[in-house]
Amino acid sequence: MHSAYRDVQETKERDWVNEMTESFDVKLVEQAKYYTPDPSYREHAWTQNYTQAYEEFLADPEEFWAKIARHLEWFKPWNKVREWDYPYAKWFLGAQLNITHNCLDRHIETHRRNKVALIWRGEEGEERIYTYMKLYREVMRCANGLKRIGVQKGDRVCIYMPMVPEQIIAMLACARIGAVHSVVFGGFGVNALNMRINDADAKVVITADVAIRRGKTIQLKTTVEEAIINAPSVEKVVVLRREKDQPVELHPEIEIDFEEMMNGTPKECPPEVMDSEDPLFILYTSGSTGPPKGIVHTCGGYMVGTYYTSLHVFDIKDNDVYWCTADPGWITGHSYIVYGPLAVGATVVIAETTPDYPDPGSFWRIVQDLGVTVFYTAPTAIRMFMKVGETWPSKYDIRSLRVLGSVGEPLNPEAFEWYYKFIGDNRCPIVDTWWQTETGMQMITTMIGERMRPGFAGKPIPGIVADVVNKEGIPVAPGTGGFLVIKEPWPAMLRTVFKNDERYRKYWETIPGCYTAGDLAVKGHDGYIMVIGRADDIIIVSGHNIGTAEVESALVSHQAVAEAAVIGKPDPMKGNTIKAFLILRVGHTPSDRLKSDLIYHVRMTLGPIAMPQEIEFVEKLPKTRSGKIMRRVLKAKELGIDPGDISTLEE
Ligand code: PRX
């Protein structure tokens, strides 16, 4: 990991606003190094001149967004582009639409009718292909099936599925009929799923018998069976049965087969007419305290924001083959596998694969076989590829690649350079895109054709006003650390936190007048923004947000644990790993066996992504006099650094 990240990650939990400049690797900020893409990129880009586009936006923000929105089809036009009643925003007021009309019907009426919409690849190289026409038909069948089992506009549907086309079909089918989907990543365990089902009061859960990962089958349905035990809202579970030889048995009282649900339903399912501000989906993200937050996104603004960025940030053209390696269970999948790319009419690749199975060439084989041109992945994967070496990509012909993207955590300069050289052939622009579940769309990056600066995501894209400020909201001097904030509302922003509007307001009230992202950043003299990491108790492990609170509560739910404190430890591959400090209950003694038990317990309750890498049994935890655990003291001790101000520490 580059020293700039290491230094700053270590200090971020202290009074970093004051200390940042001292501990920061200033060289990286001051000695600017740029990569300039070939001018042909700029000539053909959807946004040809960043500065000019940004000025156009500033001159008339509403017209800027309206112009983009006019490319899409609305059942009824808006009568006002934006209403900003701080901290509440509404976009395209009075307009009516259905996002699936723009992702499907709009293309069926054009030359895209028979264009490939989705190409799915399985681990063994199996392939399934959907044209726009076929996807349209399948979405309508599924939508009619959902209606048949009683799903209505506004109902919440939980989708807990592996990465198969049906996962996307289910999402679009919900949107088609105005049901609100809440997709839960298939790697979450029983408690995590139960909590999300209950918080959303999901009426239906859509799942599959199994997911396939690294040659193994993972039972998803059994997790659902346990997760719905204390979930009174659930009326039906829809099961996609992938194992045809020995189909899993269904419990007819509550379970129904995915295919059966759709069989015999009418072919057509006209899109539900949605108000621009009607909810489209809920997606849970870790909170720095307490349970995960159900981030609510709405139809109109989200559609415009993801359409615009898919087109302008990835610069997608009609003949591109676009592959985002995320899972639709995360916001990256919602915005940049499903809604954005389909709204622009792209050919989208999805793959139920991991970057290292059956070997570290799996991604490059897909790029070669399918002729992928635009490729979007996470720094953790890039660092893994770096470690195994460039011989892997060099075995494949990946010259089809045209644009590379990165998301989820900082792309450190070493990883940027490796990606640029060995995947991008010293030719493909890299868009390091900073955004969040809450923002719904990409916010900061370096637009295609602009010069790129390793270590820096870039500038706010046209349409977005972002800055780096101190706690009072005053912009910090270039080269100084601060909080990353957004200063104006944007179309795809979250509208609330489901059942917790107070938590929503906190985003806008922490720093007066700004949306606080919770990230630390530094702005260079050139205006480029380097995102350093989280300023709160969220740990980003391999690009996945994990709240310390969630892991701690999973740990204390084990009978042996009295108290738990969890910290993130910088890791060269994963970004961070999780370490837990535990006080045991009387009668339990520390042992390696207990450690494995506890790790297994977290795996089963929260899921494999949240498992601690290390556990240490302690007698006491550092606390403030009011009883709050001071995780930064544990972290400082663990990393051998100065803990900063400890005046509030008890004793
Ligand atoms: O800390 C930032 C990091 O990921 C967080 C958002 O996580 P999530 O809501 O799961 O969405 C991830 C995919 C959009 C941010 O607060 N993050 C995301 N992208 C970047 C990043 N950190 C640095 N550079 C990025 N490009």
**Does residue 468 fall inside a structural domain?**
no
Residue 359 has pLDDT above 80, yes or no: yes
**Does residue 345 fall inside a structural domain?**
no
Q: Whose CA is nearest to atom 12 of ligand 1?
A: 408
Residue 15 confidence class, pLDDT cut points 50, 70, 90: very low
pLDDT in tens, 528-577: 999 988 888 899 999 899 999 899 999 999 999 999 999 999 999 999 99
Domain boundary among 235, 256, 272: 272
The pLDDT value recorded for residue 80 is: 98
Q: Whose CA is nearest to atom 24 of ligand 1?
A: 410
Q: Which residues pair with 279 in a beta bridge?
A: 298
CATH code of the domain covering residue 179: 3.40.50.980
Residue 12 confidence class, pLDDT cut points 50, 70, 90: very low
Distance between Cα 545 and ligand 1 center (Å): 8
**Which domain does 129 fall in, by range?**
99-272
Residue of 313, 531, 534, 609 to mutate, ligand 1, most atoms within 8 A of C-beta: 531
Distance between Cα 442 and ligand 1 center (Å): 10
Environment class of 338 (CB within 10 Å of its CB; exposed 0-12, middle 13-18, buried 19+): buried
The pLDDT value recorded for residue 135 is: 98
Report the nearest atom of ligand 1 relative to the CA of 335: 14
Q: Is the peptide bond before 87 cis (omega within 30 degrees of 0)?
A: yes
* CA-only gyration radius of the chain, Å: 24
Residue 589: which residues within 8 A CB-CB, separation 6 or more?
none
Q: Please state, rounded to an integer, the average pLDDT across all residues of the chain.
A: 93
Report the nearest atom of ligand 1 relative to the CA of 445: 26
Distance between Cα 253 and ligand 1 center (Å): 41
> What percent of the chain stands above pLDDT 90?
86
pLDDT in tens, 60-80: 999 999 999 999 999 999 999
pLDDT in tens, 439-448: 999 999 999 9
Domain boundary among 272, 300, 325: 272
Please state, in angstroms and rounded to a whole number, the distance separating the CA atoms of residues 281 and 283.
7
**Does residue 623 fall inside a structural domain?**
yes
Residue 364 has pLDDT above 90, yes or no: yes
Residue 596: which residues within 8 A CB-CB, separation 6 or more?
none
The pLDDT value recorded for residue 647 is: 78
Residue with tokens 């009326």: 235
pLDDT in tens, 244-268: 999 999 999 999 999 999 999 999 9
Structure tokens that stand for 255 in this block: 């379970």
Q: Whose CA is nearest to atom 8 of ligand 1?
A: 436
pLDDT in tens, 391-401: 999 999 999 99
Q: Taking residues 465-485, report their average pLDDT.
A: 93
Residue 573's CB is within 10 A of a number of other CB atoms, namely 14
Q: Are 513 and 497 in contact (CB under 8 A)?
A: no
Q: Which residues pair with 178 in a beta bridge?
A: none
Residue of 283, 545, 550, 574 to mutate, ligand 1, most atoms within 8 A of C-beta: 545
Q: Whose CA is nearest to atom 14 of ligand 1?
A: 436
Environment class of 604 (CB within 10 Å of its CB; exposed 0-12, middle 13-18, buried 19+): middle
Q: Whose CA is nearest to atom 2 of ligand 1?
A: 409
Residue of 436, 452, 464, 544 to mutate, ligand 1, most atoms within 8 A of C-beta: 436
611 three-state secondary structure:
coil
* CA geometry: angle 448, 483, 325, nearest 5 deg: 40
CATH code of the domain covering residue 576: 3.30.300.30
Q: Whose CA is nearest to atom 25 of ligand 1?
A: 434
Structure tokens that stand for 620 in this block: 């006491």
**Does residue 238 fall inside a structural domain?**
yes
> What percent of the chain stands above pLDDT 70?
95
Please state, in angstroms and rounded to a whole number, the distance separating the CA atoms of residues 34 and 36.
6
Distance between Cα 487 and ligand 1 center (Å): 18
The amino acid at 642: D
Please state, in angstroms and rounded to a whole number, the distance separating the CA atoms of residues 443 and 515.
13
Q: Taking residues 208-217, report their average pLDDT.
A: 95
Please state, in angstroms and rounded to a whole number, the distance separating the CA atoms of residues 143 and 174.
6
Residue of 183, 435, 530, 536 to mutate, ligand 1, most atoms within 8 A of C-beta: 435
Sequence length of the chain is 651
Residue 651 confidence class, pLDDT cut points 50, 70, 90: low
The pLDDT value recorded for residue 30 is: 66
Give me the DSSP letters along 366-424: HHHHHT--EEEE-HHHHHHHHHH-THHHHTS--TT--EEEEESS---HHHHHHIIIIIS
Query: DSSP assignment, residue 335?
Result: I
The amino acid at 326: A
Please state, in angstroms and rounded to a whole number, the distance separating the CA atoms of residues 9 and 532.
7
Domain boundary among 272, 288, 305: 272
Report the nearest atom of ligand 1 relative to the CA of 326: 13
Distance between Cα 67 and ligand 1 center (Å): 28
pLDDT in tens, 98-136: 999 999 999 999 999 999 999 999 998 899 999 999 999
The pLDDT value recorded for residue 1 is: 35
**Does residue 5 fall inside a structural domain?**
no
The amino acid at 578: I
Q: What's the structural domain count of the chain?
A: 2
Residue 646 confidence class, pLDDT cut points 50, 70, 90: confident
The pLDDT value recorded for residue 23 is: 39
The pLDDT value recorded for residue 26 is: 54
**Does residue 245 fall inside a structural domain?**
yes
**Does residue 124 fall inside a structural domain?**
yes
Structure tokens that stand for 40 in this block: 């042909």
Please state, in angstroms and rounded to a whole number, the distance separating the CA atoms of residues 614 and 599.
9
* Torsion angle of the four alpha carbons 56, 59, 64, 65, in this order, in degrees rounded to the nearest 10: 140
Residue 17 has pLDDT above 80, yes or no: no
Residue 22 has pLDDT above 80, yes or no: no
CB-defined site of ligand 1, < 6 Å: 285, 331-332, 407-410, 432-437, 457, 517-519, 531, 534, 540, 545
